[in-house]
Structure 1
Amino acid sequence: MLDYLTNHTWVIAIVINYLLALTAIITILLKNVDPTKTLSYIMVLVFVPFFGLFVYYMFGQEYRKTKLFNRKDISNRSVIKSVGKNLRIKEQDFDELNAVLDEKIKLVKLLKASEKSPLTLRNDIDILVNGKIKFERLFQDLKDAKNFIHIEYYVIKDDKIGTQFLDILCAKAKDGLEVKMTYDDVGSCISSKMKRKINESGIEHRAFMPVWFSSLTGKSNYRNHRKIAIIDGEIGYVGGINISDSYVNYEDSSTYWRDTHLRIYGEAVKVLQFHFLTTWDFVTEEEIEIKKIYFPEIECDQEIPVQIAASGPDTDWANIMEAILTAINNAEEYIYLTTPYFIPNDQIVTALQIAARVGLDVRLIIPKESDSWVAQRATASYLEPLLEAGVKVYLYKRGFIHAKTMVVDDIFGTIGTCNMDNRSFNINFEINALIYHNEKCKKLKSIFLEDLEDCETLKYEYWKERSKYCKLQESLSRLWAPLL
């Protein structure tokens, strides 16, 4: 028997592989997910033995419905319920907003059904362009903190800017403030020396879903891509800028990094706080105490309507993707999109094509040179049908554009962490601020138009004539699009 197994090891391994693959294929089919995604996984499972199983078990599991990430539902805590009740806007205010937004009120209603995405009115916001401005504002707010600081980032590195950031947190913790910090274990890189300093200062910190070899895991699934900073429950930050020198544009930086972040003062910070606590609840083993001090009364004389939309395996729906899709479908004049990774689903592609074909001004800014060869070519495969429909595509050439923004009709805008790709829509933990305000949306529009000065226009006539070799590369890369 042992000799038989030894002599037929390869055959046995292949049989076991395809038995497991068959089980996986049946599971995929029963989920009735997007056919393109289904076929991509089936092809990998059938034609790439062993590696196909690895890809499926690493990237193909759908956890949103199984609630793997909902260890405890903190939304049922009395403090959270009380805050949620107080955040509900009056019907009179909602009617006034309805008159301003017209058809776009559907966006509010889409997320309003979720207690985790209430519409907040009393807010003041600042749109921060690039890392230098963001870090100047953030560092000052951190130094001025009086009660607590909560940090949740995909990337935290103890390089030059990261060390400044962590030193401030350590100083505040030594002064007696509560400082909690969670960082993604794949995206972040903090040295043992810095971790000892963090521990000695009294900062509570946890890695999100730790991995053994973070430098080798690449885009291992279900990463926390959110970037949240909360100071005293009054000031919050959200957007595309991580804690790393890459985002600062020092004089010796090899690549100019163009990004956008948002500073919020007001009620919307309470929603950011809720989502931070949800993450903290997941990364810690102990029962967390939700203090009333986390949700202070905020005196804000500005009225800028803001909703916080979060999505990931811990949410029932793909909230951010649905909000973007609803905004596109209800646009009447223009849609301006900026994203570093454009690998959309069929719904987004069709919505953009229809918007352009009926005469709307639809514009898309993407990087001319991406930091991912495969992602760039997968993106390229989506451009020709958009160009043919009349979508204007611009290639940002000054450096790498990492901003994730959208503005529609001078009345709706979004700034956050969500890229226009499958990973952000369905796999990673993401968070965006949705803004319903004429002045701020015009500001976001003007920033978009300024970015166009650093872009080159992609012409349909030129693009459709690219070589068959380029198109083959794009088609092969697109096969991996649901996995990127």
Structure 2
Amino acid sequence: MGFIGLYVLNTIFMLIVAIREVRRPEKALNWLAIGLIFPVLGYVIYLIIANPIHFRKERLTSPNNVSDPLPNSFSPASSIIAQSVSQLTVHGLRSGRVQLLTNGIETYYKLIASLQNAQSTVEVEYYTYRDDQIGKRITDILIERAEAGVKIRFIRDGWGSKQFPKHVINRMMDAGIECRTIFPLSFPWIPTLTYRDHCKIVVIDGIEAFTGGINVGDEYTGLKPDVGFWRDTHMRLVGEVSQFHN
């Protein structure tokens, strides 16, 4: 391939990246730099990792990359995961109370108290859910409520919670908890690397919800000296506002 052909291909690559990443300039600059350093090869790497639209459908529907199927929802609030954004933009928030939580200790205190009082359904979805001190505490409560007859669904991200032990999942499932993994890691996992589930959502009895930036892990409680105090924001929603629909 001559210099002119290489120049044309690289120019096309830069235009594609600039158009696709127009809303993320820092990402566009990174890919443009890769394209300059590795002409043509940079575009191949971009196709593999960034998953342009015309390649995404085929890869995400590959047997190795499809998430576990989710069962039909069993409570009015369960559709929060799939419908909250579209419904929220159309109808806006309904009546209810919103409580701002500004650190992990405050969030876990409220969350644990609410989980212990769950009567009918609990729906849990996290990017990172650890099997550490706070994770074990919440898991034990979920198992206890499931054994008491509460219907519980547990969803975790395959990358953010990749170290969550299989034997703990088995304990939860033995108690009757429905467990699913979003994009579980399986070879080749590169096409799904940038398609992760960063949600942190808990919905209790369809009338109370927790959501925001706090995952489940000791680093949010100050128990890890190398992390220190972790300042993040979470919300407790009570009433119709917790459902985001209807």
Same fold (TM over 0.5): yes
CA distance in structure 2 between the aligned counterparts of 1:270 and 1:51, rounded to whole angstroms: 44
Query: 1:263 and 2:236 equivalent?
Result: yes
* Map 1:341-360 → 2, pairs under 5 A: none
For residue 191 of structure 1, the aligned residue among 165, 171, 174 is 165
CA distance in structure 1 between the aligned counterparts of 2:28 and 2:155, rounded to whole angstroms: 34
> What per-residue deviation string (whole Å, max 9, x for no partner) do you get for residues 228-274 of structure 1?
11000100011111100110113856422112211010112111xx6
Secondary structure class of the residue paired with 1:120:
coil
1:41–1:60: 8 Å Cα contact kept in structure 2?
A: no
* 1:138 shift after superposition: 0.4
- Paired AA for residue 52 in structure 2: Q
> What per-residue deviation string (whole Å, max 9, x for no partner) do you get for residues 347-376 of structure 1?
xxxxxxxxxxxxxxxxxxxxxxxxxxxxxx
- Paired AA for residue 236 in structure 2: R
Residue matched to 1:48: 38
For residue 22 of structure 2, the aligned residue among 33, 37, 51 is 33
> What per-residue deviation string (whole Å, max 9, x for no partner) do you get for residues 72-107 of structure 1?
xxxxxxx98xx9xxxxxxxxxxxxxxxxxxxxxxxx
Evaluate the alpha carbon distance shift between residue 140 and residue 46 of structure 1 in structure 2; reply closer, same or farther with a 3 A threshold.
same
Secondary structure class of the residue paired with 2:243:
helix
Structure 1 length as normaliser, TM-score? 0.39
Secondary structure class of the residue paired with 1:241:
coil
1:128–1:262: 8 Å Cα contact kept in structure 2?
A: yes
Evaluate the alpha carbon distance shift between residue 185 and residue 123 of structure 1 in structure 2; reply closer, same or farther with a 3 A threshold.
same
Give the structure, 1 or 2, with the largest relative contact order (CA under 8 Å, sep 6 or more). Answer: 2
- Paired AA for residue 50 in structure 2: F
Query: 1:209 and 2:183 equivalent?
Result: yes
* 1:227 shift after superposition: 0.7
* 1:121 shift after superposition: 4.0
CA distance in structure 2 between the aligned counterparts of 1:130 and 1:30, rounded to whole angstroms: 38
Evaluate the alpha carbon distance shift between residue 182 and residue 18 of structure 1 in structure 2; reply closer, same or farther with a 3 A threshold.
farther
CA distance in structure 1 between the aligned counterparts of 2:123 and 2:102, rounded to whole angstroms: 23
Residue matched to 2:69: none
Secondary structure class of the residue paired with 1:53:
helix
* Map 1:414-453 → 2, pairs under 5 A: none
* 1:222 shift after superposition: 1.8
1:41–1:56: 8 Å Cα contact kept in structure 2?
A: no
Structure 2 length as normaliser, TM-score? 0.71
> What per-residue deviation string (whole Å, max 9, x for no partner) do you get for residues 206-243 of structure 1?
111112389x97x9202111111100010001111110
CA distance in structure 2 between the aligned counterparts of 1:255 and 1:230, rounded to whole angstroms: 29
Structure 1: runs of 5+ lacking an equivalent: 1-10, 12-16, 72-78, 84-110, 275-294, 296-484
- Paired AA for residue 177 in structure 1: V
1:45–1:53: 8 Å Cα contact kept in structure 2?
A: no
* 1:203 shift after superposition: 0.8
> What per-residue deviation string (whole Å, max 9, x for no partner) do you get for residues 302-359 of structure 1?
xxxxxxxxxxxxxxxxxxxxxxxxxxxxxxxxxxxxxxxxxxxxxxxxxxxxxxxxxx
Structure 2: runs of 5+ lacking an equivalent: 61-65, 67-74, 80-84
1:131–1:247: 8 Å Cα contact kept in structure 2?
A: yes
What is the total number of aligned residue pairs between the two structures? Answer: 216
Mark the structure with the bigger radius of gyration: 1
Evaluate the alpha carbon distance shift between residue 213 and residue 153 of structure 1 in structure 2; reply closer, same or farther with a 3 A threshold.
farther
CA distance in structure 1 between the aligned counterparts of 2:213 and 2:116, rounded to whole angstroms: 22
Identity of aligned residues (%): 26
The alignment yields a C-alpha RMSD, in angstroms, of 4.0
CA distance in structure 1 between the aligned counterparts of 2:217 and 2:32, rounded to whole angstroms: 38
